[in-house]
Structure 1
Amino acid sequence: MYEKRRPLSKTNALITNLAVADLMMTILNIPFNILRFVLDNWPFGETMCKLVPFIQSTSVHCSSISMMFIAIERYRNVVGTVQDFRQFNQRKCWPHVRTLVLIWSLSVLLSIPHGLYNQLVSDRFLALTRCKVTYPSQQFRQWLTIFTLLSQYLTPIFITIICYMRIGLFLWRRRIVGTVSEGQRLSINRRKKRRIKMLFMVVLVFAICWLPLNVYHILSDFKFINYRSVLFFTVHWFAMSSVW
């Protein structure tokens, strides 16, 4: 007889979702962004001009929000009571699906402006067509930059860090109880701490990689510095490296 498969846990579903978002960024965004910087002419049409930045924003929002939900679920698993943990493991997949739908819906909704205001701009003198972002006004651009910084970077990372700090504090103060042997308890705690460290490292890499690009957008959009293509390409490449 075949062993009955255990339902996919919510944390594993979120980790898989995080991997899917990173894979989507790698396949559908990074190659086009490289060509966008290298080529003088945009050869892929207006649809791709709007779709590429939209996919990028959706993928990044999905990654950061997924990391936030992973931290929340890990907090519930570690800090919650034994009864809560058993109920959590016995749930079917539908709550996972609802969570994933919520994450992707939020990511798509928050990313619409990043695709909507990209369009092809023709230079008749040079006979070139470029894919450029054209916001209604500089003030709109500044507000969108602040909003994106909060929704895609600061808020998810802040909540994630708070959850992992609470988990670490709980594990540090926790007294080991139960009927299992001392070696089993230590082994279980080591596995939990190792997984938490791994997830925290994912958040740390994401935060470090995307910090320069977010800082650049703030400084550039608020006219503290002038636009510099080489600098922008460098910080943009560094941000994309978070998925490699």
Structure 2
Amino acid sequence: MAAMKNLPKNLSLGDAEGLPERRPWVTSVLASVLIFTIVVDLLGNSLVIVSVFRNKKLRRAGNAFVASLAIADLVVAIYPYPLILIAILHNGWVHGYIHCQMSGLLMGLSVIGSIFNITGIAINRYCYICHGPKYDKIFSHRSTSCYVLLVWMLTCLAIIPNLFVESLQYDPRIYSCTFVQSVSSFYTVTIVVIHFLLPISIVSYCYLHIWIFVIRVRRRVKPENRSRINPHDFRNFLTMFVVFVLFAICWAPLNFIGLGVAVNPKLANMIPEWLFIASYFMAYFNSCLNAIVYGVLNHNFRREYKQIIIEIINLSC
């Protein structure tokens, strides 16, 4: 990471030194992964948003975070990912300094918005299942809208420091303008703790208590609460739990690499390049997975997907 360069504003980024010479199959694989991610991200998350607003069964307070999460995933497919794809095809950044900074900011906005929305979903599910009588008061439609707004306010606030520490730079190894962990060890550790480890801990706490509660109810330890856990509620919880697990799996390698390098800069030269590249593209790939999970595990989403697609086909014929 220490090899990353700060590109001057007047530099044609495609002419930057230090671009890696790679075998054609490597760039082909990276480009293919990104193309698949962009297409599925755009189509899948658009279906999620439309489904939530169209279907009354999906238009419940908790799904406001689901739609918000889909918006966070859409952001990267609309702007940063296409620029990265072009950089892969040109073996260098050709879009200029401003687009580099905007791309990095929107990538940060997307990932922080995603983890904050996943945290909101977990807290919502925890309150619904474990504290049912209080749920409607805590998560009314009006208050949930305020919570979603708060999520995005905190997300925007979280990316502002990047403008002052000059942490958004082009890395030729991943063809991306992204956060550079080597700029400041303290800042990197703070970012990983606040934007990844802390939210993951909160979500883990919520889902752990939900699992304990569900197990107790199924064993009739608390039969008075059994009506709160119907098959639909459990399937909805399981869907959101899978979304969280996939996010953690996809983003953990990149965050732990950054944390390790921040704590011990010597690790930067010990991490294989393929592992560093794989950690980034695993993280990129996560943005297209949520819509697939909803379609596979949630009957209401799956049925709404089919209906929307059929209507689009009928309109085009």
Residue 78 of structure 1 and its aligned partner are, at CA, apart by: 1.1
Q: For 1:191 and 1:120, locate their aligned partners in 2 and report how far apart those are by CA, in whole Å.
A: 46
1:132 and 1:209, CA in 2 relative to 1: closer, same or farther beyond 3 A?
A: closer
Residue 134 of structure 1 and its aligned partner are, at CA, apart by: 9.5
Residue 75 of structure 1 and its aligned partner are, at CA, apart by: 1.0
> What is the alpha-carbon root mean square deviation over aligned residues?
3.2
Contact residue 64 and residue 156 of structure 1 kept, 8 A: yes
Q: Give the match for residue 44 of structure 2.
A: none
Q: For 2:57 and 2:238, locate their aligned partners in 1 and report how far apart those are by CA, in whole Å.
A: 25
1:114 and 1:232, CA in 2 relative to 1: closer, same or farther beyond 3 A?
A: farther
Contact residue 57 and residue 114 of structure 1 kept, 8 A: no
- Supply the AA of the counterpart residue of 2:277: F
Q: Give the match for residue 135 of structure 2.
A: 85
Residue 131 of structure 1 and its aligned partner are, at CA, apart by: 7.9
Residue 235 of structure 1 and its aligned partner are, at CA, apart by: 1.4
TM-score scaled by structure 1?
0.77
Contact residue 37 and residue 233 of structure 1 kept, 8 A: no
Q: Give the match for residue 112 of structure 2.
A: 61
1:146 equivalenced with 2:197 (yes/no): no
For 1:145, what is the secondary structure of its paired residue?
helix
1:232 equivalenced with 2:276 (yes/no): yes
Q: For 2:115 and 2:150, locate their aligned partners in 1 and report how far apart those are by CA, in whole Å.
A: 13
1:242 equivalenced with 2:312 (yes/no): no
1:219 and 1:88, CA in 2 relative to 1: closer, same or farther beyond 3 A?
A: closer
Q: For 1:195 and 1:220, locate their aligned partners in 2 and report how far apart those are by CA, in whole Å.
A: 38
Note the 1:155-234 alignment, pairs <5 A. 155-174=198-217, 175-177=222-224, 185=227, 189-221=230-262, 222-226=265-269, 229-234=273-278
- Of the three residues 140, 154, 169, the one matched with 1:106 is 154
Contact residue 72 and residue 163 of structure 1 kept, 8 A: yes
Contact residue 53 and residue 114 of structure 1 kept, 8 A: no
Contact residue 79 and residue 170 of structure 1 kept, 8 A: yes
Q: For 2:75 and 2:177, locate their aligned partners in 1 and report how far apart those are by CA, in whole Å.
A: 22
Q: For 1:58 and 1:108, locate their aligned partners in 2 and report how far apart those are by CA, in whole Å.
A: 7
Residue 72 of structure 1 and its aligned partner are, at CA, apart by: 0.7
Residue 6 of structure 1 and its aligned partner are, at CA, apart by: 8.6
Contact residue 104 and residue 178 of structure 2 kept, 8 A: no
1:87 and 1:106, CA in 2 relative to 1: closer, same or farther beyond 3 A?
A: closer
Q: For 1:134 and 1:24, locate their aligned partners in 2 and report how far apart those are by CA, in whole Å.
A: 17
Residue 7 of structure 1 and its aligned partner are, at CA, apart by: 10
Contact residue 104 and residue 177 of structure 2 kept, 8 A: no
Residue 88 of structure 1 and its aligned partner are, at CA, apart by: 5.0
Structure 2, unpaired ranges of 5+: 1-55, 289-317
1:26 equivalenced with 2:74 (yes/no): no
Q: For 1:74 and 1:15, locate their aligned partners in 2 and report how far apart those are by CA, in whole Å.
A: 12
1:109-164 superposed Cα distances (whole Å, 9 cap, x missing partner): 2122445523689xxxxxxxx986798x95x5211211121122111111001101
- Supply the AA of the counterpart residue of 1:49: C
Corresponding residue pairs, total? 221
Q: For 1:131 and 1:13, locate their aligned partners in 2 and report how far apart those are by CA, in whole Å.
A: 31
Contact residue 261 and residue 268 of structure 2 kept, 8 A: yes
Q: Give the match for residue 3 of structure 2.
A: none
Q: For 2:89 and 2:186, locate their aligned partners in 1 and report how far apart those are by CA, in whole Å.
A: 29
Structure 1, unpaired ranges of 5+: 122-129
Q: For 1:141 and 1:98, locate their aligned partners in 2 and report how far apart those are by CA, in whole Å.
A: 34
Q: For 1:102 and 1:66, locate their aligned partners in 2 and report how far apart those are by CA, in whole Å.
A: 10
Q: Give the match for residue 125 of structure 1.
A: none
1:6-29 superposed Cα distances (whole Å, 9 cap, x missing partner): 994331101110111111122222
- Supply the AA of the counterpart residue of 2:251: W
For 1:10, what is the secondary structure of its paired residue?
coil
Q: For 1:6 and 1:205, locate their aligned partners in 2 and report how far apart those are by CA, in whole Å.
A: 25
Q: Structure 1 runs of 4+ off > 6 angstroms?
A: 130-135
Identity between Structure 1 and Structure 2 (%): 25
- Supply the AA of the counterpart residue of 2:144: H
